[in-house]
Chains A and B, each alone.
Chain A
């Protein structure tokens, strides 16, 4: 919300510099996101003394300072035609020092051209020679300095300014015409200077979505009293009694707790005075005419959105009798064309304001176009072409009788309506956050008072008030012990009461239950954010902390009891997996988890079964390539490899993370944790020395898998497998007992084609992390470090090509028993000499006994057993 400081000052004295005010508001939960200085000097950022304070404020400032000696108020006594140009005029201007002739092309001065000496001089904002202002003819804000020039033969060195030139608004249609009572020759900054705070209104601070509300916070935070004039809400009692001029029927008080009407006869519709127009603009709204402006102004000021009806139209619709306003929920299939000329299908929960002839507006959100009533405050956001364009500015009638509505609506229902209709307005912004019903009457009275002031007319006495559901303003009880228990500060009863009273809580002390002293606090009747009971107590504690100052609360350490300590095998197991893979030289990555089925389908070779698991789809995706939650961590890693293959030859990535399976039965989708590893490119990094140019293949990956499983102390087996992602001859699955932990291999050539990889083979693994972590043993035994020397021996055997090496090693191990502690394959050899369809496998064996030094005879016996077994089971022959 945009809050001009000058408006705040109507209600509270501001005793501290603006940056300090900004800091205190921000610290108290009214975050000031930006300050726009209008003419006033910006806080110095370079001066060392100021810097620390500004740092603490941490707010973005902008604006144009008006030099006091160069930009002043002035009066124009005569507007004369330019001798050589129809679109220019010459103004006889007095700036408090002397008379000037100032040239301008402002269209809003044309009506005064050639009228001679004006009966009432025009008051303007005048920039003298050398003044720094914004260039009115360039888009955006471009600074320029006024220099003498000749325009169409006439000397010009100064300027009557538009709002754009002074940084007030984007308006460059004409020059500013100040109110008639403006002084002449004073610095403009003294007369109009302002600073506009842009305050972020959080849901619990809705009561401060208005000037009065912010002023109350300022008063409480700076320890000063508010000054609201006694007659602020007082309507002059001059006309006839309002009774009988209209009636109100509320069908559902839950949705419409209160409805108030006021009436002013024969108002004179015209533009608002400049001071009001300026405030509306600074607050982000566009001035229309005095009636519309008053409804907006009163809403901004006290927080109650108002709606002005043309009373004569309502009487006409009621067939000449006094109108009845009816509030009700929309009927099935009911439509209403709102002021933005959109025909809207209404939901059954939408509340309408109607008369006997039909619907008039969507309650609390926007008026209807069809009913031809006097459009007022409920326009859309300031920067759009609001519905005001279709409103009263087009009307020719210059006087009217205004029936002014102020009501209270159920905020949840307004919020639902706003969401269903996708329709925002200043009124809906406030009503959807909650406006206290007490404000309905105050808003109407304030609006009527301002209308009378600006538009004349006769005010009917009193208001018509239907108030079927009065909210109970909660009364809460609080003790200093509560404050200490929750906030960790010791405050006296007196200090607590002082804080609550600064926020206009009515407090009394309950002392009849000594030693307890209880403070009983009555919530002021404009707040809906204070509850009762335990929550109410928390609400009050928050208020005390805010006003006391979060920065004053001491930092303490937890003294409460520690909970029982527990291990978390899942998370710890995952951490071990990640750490082990990093140890094995892999780079961890973390990918976006939103993708598309098409992106993920690339990981499966064409013609193989597709992924038919149900996806968890995003109903409101942010981009067309992020519409589901992923099914495959492997695809995430492959995509990362794809992107990096443009910048790196060697890539070794892994990712551990969840995949998501929509579930028909479950409350939530299944979140399964997967590990994907992808390797591609040269085995070693590039360098200037001679090195192997081999690229990573299946066995590099297998080495990593073995390293991982050994690190986790899980016994596993590997056997050939097939999978749509992988090359059918270069794929293996990892088994622990009967359970498949994962699958790995070289990517299928048809899969490789679907990604944009560099030409090297790509090997990948897809592993079930949930299963893997569950298999990590709690503990494992250390193997004795042998005290006796081992015997090392090589053994080369020739077997048929089809016999897997794994089986050969298995047979050796089985035959050798515990004495052979290590079997390492060091050569695989094929040649004509060995024979076609044969291969030689050479192993290095370590013989080791734990209780003695082995003799040649011991070793020879075991060797014979191995050779015999290899021959019997695999037909293997010792290589000559």
Chain B
């Protein structure tokens, strides 16, 4: 009987080796481990064996059974592995083919730039307001310390309209008056983003309309140093700690002292190019301490309050950031431009 067991084991293992897939393996399992497997009659006969023979035969029969079961598991695992390997081998993609394009939405680059600036100022406690694009001459000029025929009006190439004394705002500064009149005598930290208009021949640097953001802080003990610090912080927020900025004296009727705020031209690295008019600097905006007359027009006592104001061009900032060499891209809305942001 022991010889039978040896033979069964050898036969079974040999047959096992011949199995090539899970189906033939299953047939093998039924044949050698199933109810009608050749091992089964031996187990059935165990009880009929003598006390002397039984332990050895029984032990050996169990051994063979375990051996076959172990071999079966190993074979099953091997077959699965080889099947997996095969399928992994055959299932190959050309990963260099393009992916599926998914239609996605995007903000206009001018909005992106404006939001970046708004976020930076919002973090410094400034709140957003809006004022009209078509303004009265009084708000555009008069209340900003530019009475009719003031020489400084020459600085603003303005579009005039069919409504008497309404012009398209050439800057966001009239918003200063709106905000001050609404909130005096509270302290103010406001930003006023919006479209401005200038009668200007369109070129790589100039558009007839452009976004500006007005910055206004009014309170006690606000200094020119605070203005420099605030705009310097903005530059660092937008362009990192290494951006060079320049703050030079200038003139606006509604601020005094007044300054021009320049960022180093990143397009040419300060060497001079067509975008920066070969100056190496990009004028980001004008700024200064709010003029006493304007504070008064807004309802604040200039002896108690001081403030600063700035008007920054946000397309300029975007141009600086992405080396956009022509401002005319902005309102042309060419998808080949828009899709890049």
Is B34's CB within 8 Å of the partner chain A? no
Is A205's CB within 8 Å of the partner chain B? yes
Chain B residues closer than 8 Å to A570, beta-carbon distance: 130
Q: Give Cα distance in the complex from A571 to B131, angstroms.
A: 11
- B interface, size bucket: 35 or more
Inter-subunit contact A589/B338 (CB<8 Å): yes
Q: Report B73-105 residues with CB < 8 Å from chain A CB.
A: 97-98, 100-105
Chain B residues closer than 8 Å to A411, beta-carbon distance: 151
Q: Report A394-420 residues with CB < 8 Å from chain B CB.
A: 411-412, 415-416
Is A660's CB within 8 Å of the partner chain B? yes
Inter-subunit contact B134/A622 (CB<8 Å): no
Is A562's CB within 8 Å of the partner chain B? yes
Q: Give Cα distance in the complex from A643 to B253, angstroms.
A: 42
Chain A residues closer than 8 Å to B186, beta-carbon distance: 563-564
Q: Give Cα distance in the complex from A204 to B255, angstroms.
A: 12
Question: B188 contacts which of A29, A56, A563, A588 (Cβ < 8 Å)?
Answer: A563
Question: B233 contacts which of A557, A587, A626, A647 (Cβ < 8 Å)?
Answer: A557
Is A486's CB within 8 Å of the partner chain B? yes
Q: Nearest CB to that of B292 among chain A residues?
A: A534
Is B65's CB within 8 Å of the partner chain A? no
Chain B residues closer than 8 Å to A434, beta-carbon distance: 151
B311 to chain A, nearest CB (A): 16
Question: A588 contacts which of B107, B166, B221, B279 (Cβ < 8 Å)?
Answer: B107
Inter-subunit contact A432/B151 (CB<8 Å): yes
Question: B160 contacts which of A618, A644, A685 (Cβ < 8 Å)?
Answer: A618
Chain A residues closer than 8 Å to B240, beta-carbon distance: none
Inter-subunit contact A553/B333 (CB<8 Å): no
Inter-subunit contact A29/B232 (CB<8 Å): no
Inter-subunit contact B134/A648 (CB<8 Å): no
Is A202's CB within 8 Å of the partner chain B? yes
Chain B residues closer than 8 Å to A545, beta-carbon distance: 224, 249, 257
Taken residue by residue from 108 to 137, chain B's Cβ proximity to chain A (1 for < 8 Å, 0 otherwise) reads as 101100000000000011011110111110
Q: Give Cα distance in the complex from A667 to B137, angstroms.
A: 10
Inter-subunit contact B248/A668 (CB<8 Å): no
Q: Give Cα distance in the complex from A73 to B219, angstroms.
A: 65
Inter-subunit contact A688/B97 (CB<8 Å): yes
Stretch at the interface among B13-21, B25-33, B35-43, B193-201: B193-201
Is B239's CB within 8 Å of the partner chain A? no
Inter-subunit contact B335/A568 (CB<8 Å): no
Q: Give Cα distance in the complex from A434 to B155, angstroms.
A: 16
Inter-subunit contact B249/A590 (CB<8 Å): no
Q: Nearest CB to that of A559 among chain B residues?
A: B221
Inter-subunit contact A592/B133 (CB<8 Å): no
Chain B residues closer than 8 Å to A582, beta-carbon distance: 105-107
Question: A26 contacts which of B104, B130, B248 (Cβ < 8 Å)?
Answer: B248
Stretch at the interface among B45-53, B56-64, B270-278, B319-327: B270-278
Is B1's CB within 8 Å of the partner chain A? no
Q: Give Cα distance in the complex from A411 to B111, angstroms.
A: 42
Chain A residues closer than 8 Å to B125, beta-carbon distance: 558, 562
Q: Give Cα distance in the complex from A648 to B293, angstroms.
A: 54
B123 to chain A, nearest CB (A): 12
Q: Nearest CB to that of A590 among chain B residues?
A: B108
Inter-subunit contact A660/B134 (CB<8 Å): yes
Question: A557 contacts which of B98, B105, B129, B229 (Cβ < 8 Å)?
Answer: B229
Chain A residues closer than 8 Å to B150, beta-carbon distance: 203, 412
Q: Give Cα distance in the complex from A733 to B168, angstroms.
A: 33
A649 to chain B, nearest CB (A): 11
Q: Give Cα distance in the complex from A557 to B230, angstroms.
A: 6
Q: Nearest CB to that of A29 among chain B residues?
A: B249
Chain B residues closer than 8 Å to A589, beta-carbon distance: 108, 333, 338
Inter-subunit contact B217/A546 (CB<8 Å): no
Chain A residues closer than 8 Å to B224, beta-carbon distance: 486-488, 545, 553
Q: Give Cα distance in the complex from A647 to B333, angstroms.
A: 12
Using A585-B103, A629-B134, A668-B166 as known contacts, say yes or no to A485 and B187 having CB atoms under 8 A apart. no
Q: Give Cα distance in the complex from A660 to B169, angstroms.
A: 14
Chain B residues closer than 8 Å to A205, beta-carbon distance: 251
B327 to chain A, nearest CB (A): 13
Q: Report B240-273 residues with CB < 8 Å from chain A CB.
A: 246-251, 253, 256-260, 262, 264, 270-272
Q: Nearest CB to that of A432 among chain B residues?
A: B151
Question: A561 contacts which of B128, B133, B219, B258 (Cβ < 8 Å)?
Answer: B219
Is A224's CB within 8 Å of the partner chain B? no
Is B228's CB within 8 Å of the partner chain A? yes
Is B163's CB within 8 Å of the partner chain A? yes
Inter-subunit contact A555/B225 (CB<8 Å): yes
Chain A residues closer than 8 Å to B306, beta-carbon distance: 485-486
Q: Give Cα distance in the complex from A497 to B281, angstroms.
A: 34
Question: B161 contacts which of A31, A555, A565, A617 (Cβ < 8 Å)?
Answer: A617
Residues of B within 8 A of A (CB): 97-98, 100-108, 110-111, 124-125, 127-130, 132-136, 149-152, 154-155, 159-163, 166, 168, 183, 186-189, 195, 197, 199-202, 208-209, 217, 219-226, 228-230, 232-233, 246-251, 253, 256-260, 262, 264, 270-272, 276-281, 289, 291-293, 302-303, 306, 330-336, 338-339
Supply 30 A–B pairs (Cβ within 8 Å), ascending by A.
A33-B279, A58-B246, A58-B262, A202-B250, A203-B155, A206-B151, A415-B151, A486-B223, A486-B306, A538-B291, A541-B256, A542-B257, A545-B249, A546-B257, A553-B228, A554-B229, A555-B225, A558-B189, A563-B127, A571-B130, A588-B105, A591-B331, A592-B209, A594-B159, A618-B160, A619-B161, A622-B201, A629-B134, A651-B335, A687-B100
Residues of A within 8 A of B (CB): 26-29, 31, 33, 45, 54-56, 58-60, 202-206, 411-412, 415-416, 432-434, 484-489, 534-535, 537-539, 541-542, 545-546, 550-551, 553-566, 568, 570-571, 578, 581-594, 615-622, 626, 629, 640, 643-644, 647-648, 650-653, 658, 660, 662-663, 667-669, 671, 684-689
Closest 9 CB pairs of A and B: A488-B225, A488-B223, A29-B249, A560-B219, A582-B105, A685-B101, A542-B257, A58-B280, A617-B162
Supplied contacts A554-B229, A643-B332, 15 more A-B pairs, CB within 8 Å: A203-B151, A416-B149, A487-B257, A551-B246, A553-B228, A555-B229, A559-B226, A562-B189, A564-B186, A616-B162, A621-B159, A629-B134, A643-B333, A671-B134, A686-B101
